[in-house]
Amino acid sequence: MQLQTLITSLLASVALATPVRRDVQGLYTLRLSTPYAPLDGLYLRALAPPVANATAGLALGVTPSAKGESIVVYPVENPSSGLAELHTPEGGAVALVGRKGLLDLASILGDPAAAPVPEGATIDWTSFKLGDVGAGPLGFAARAGRWVAFPTPAKNGEPPAWGVKFKDNAAVTTENYVQVTILYEPLKSE
């Protein structure tokens, strides 16, 4: 009898300790929309190497010639901001990481609150703004600015990858970027 009570207690404590995500609204992919034809319609995916500003994440972007798995996210409402967090099924989250008004869009591995952030850098995964329910443009509510894509150096004769960043109105950068819109849309089952 005591063994049965102990097992029931253990199972109940595990069930109570397991977070239940009641606010998951479905799985989505992130796609670029831009007048620049080589990038228009491409889905965001993790690029290598890791983001220079945070050791726990992979930059998100597109590679026109490469086929790869696009990032999959699900929105969760942040209780303190009322805005969206974009979590990954693997247990991570999408965040903006960087300094001085130019922030890399990154896939953070694990809990973003525990991600190591170098001195002077910032990380924000709690301030995404979603458009219409089900699909629409992705916004960043913490700062005024816009989404841009910067080319990375080409390797081994391949076309360059394009890293997606958020450029706020105070950021000073080179002009070799393309302005983009990030669209989130339901994951298509195949």
Per-residue pLDDT reduced to its tens digit, 111-154: 998 888 888 888 999 999 997 666 789 999 998 999 999 998 77
* Residue 18 pLDDT level (bands cut at 50, 70, 90): very low
What is the pLDDT confidence band of residue 13, given thresholds at 50, 70 and 90? very low
- With tokens 């600015």, the residue in question is 145
* Residue 101, CA atoms < 13 Å, CB-side half-sphere: 10
Query: Could you list the residue range(s) of the whole structural domain that residue 62 is in?
Result: 24-186
pLDDT at 100: 83
Question: What is the C-alpha separation between 104 and 61, in angstroms, rounded?
Answer: 9
pLDDT at 69: 82
pLDDT of res. 147: 96
6 lies in some domain: no
144 assigned to some structural domain: yes
* Predicted local distance difference test score (pLDDT) of residue 66: 65
Number of domains in the chain: 1
Give the pair of three-digit tokens for residue 107.
């896939």
Rounded Cα distance, 30 and 181, in Å: 10
69 neighbors 131 (Cβ within 8 angstroms): no
Tell me whether residue 59 is in a domain: yes
- Nearest C-alpha neighbor of 187 from the set 72, 34, 16: 72
Task: Report how far residue 68's alpha carbon sits from residue 157's, in angstroms, rounded to the nearest whole number.
Answer: 18
Is residue 56 assigned to a domain?
yes
Query: 106 lies in a domain?
Result: yes
C-alpha span between 139 and 116 (Å, rounded): 25
- 19 lies in some domain: no
Is position 10 within any domain? no
- Residues 18-27, mean pLDDT to the nearest whole number: 51
Residue 123 belongs to some domain of the structure = yes
Output the domain CATH number for residue 116.
2.80.10
Residues of the chain above pLDDT 90, percent: 44
Question: 116, 55 in Cβ contact below 8 A?
Answer: yes
pTM (predicted TM-score): 0.79
